[in-house]
């Protein structure tokens, strides 16, 4: 368990893919009113694949580390694969047990990413 907590802290302290993209295909965000966490995700899609991704946000370790882990996981995957991801996939990615409140924090980035892809698909 400590090893997984260390991995989360590493992603929190040194997030991967934090920043903004130039000319993203989508830019969307999510807010968790119960704790104040905020995540925005930008992406570039080409040939049905997520070619580039970035996120910005503020909040707890779980929300920010989850965004970093998710971005690392979905880069270069198909949009269909990303849209098929769910709660179980995020729990597997995080590797620590979460209660209902913390689970909302962990899912924030996934919801933002999927919302962005769906909006992009409607516009194309």
CATH code where residue 19 lies: 3.90.1010.10
Q: pLDDT of 30-88, one tens digit each?
A: 999 888 999 999 999 999 999 999 999 999 999 999 999 999 999 999 999 999 999 99
- Which of 75, 103, 99 has the alpha carbon at shortest distance from 89? 103
With 70 as the cut, is the pLDDT of residue 1 above it? no
Residue ranges of the alpha helices (H) in 14-99? 61-74, 79-84, 87-94
Domain that holds residue 47: 2-123
Count: domains in the chain: 1
Structure tokens at 111: 């919801």
Strand segments (E) across the chain: 26-32, 37-46, 49-58
């Amino acid at each position: 368990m400590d090893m997984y907590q260390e991995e989360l802290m590493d992603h929190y302290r040194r997030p991967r893919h934090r920043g903004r993209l130039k000319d993203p295909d989508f830019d969307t965000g999510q807010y968790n009113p119960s704790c104040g966490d905020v995540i925005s995700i930008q992406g570039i899609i080409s040939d049905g694949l997520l070619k580039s991704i970035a996120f910005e946000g503020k909040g707890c370790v779980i929300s920010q580390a989850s965004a970093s882990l998710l971005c690392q996981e979905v880069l270069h995957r198909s949009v269909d694969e990303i849209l098929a991801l769910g709660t179980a996939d995020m729990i597997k990615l995080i590797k620590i047990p979460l209660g209902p409140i913390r689970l909302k924090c962990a899912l924030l980035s996934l919801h933002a990413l999927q919302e962005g892809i769906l909006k992009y698909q409607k516009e194309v």
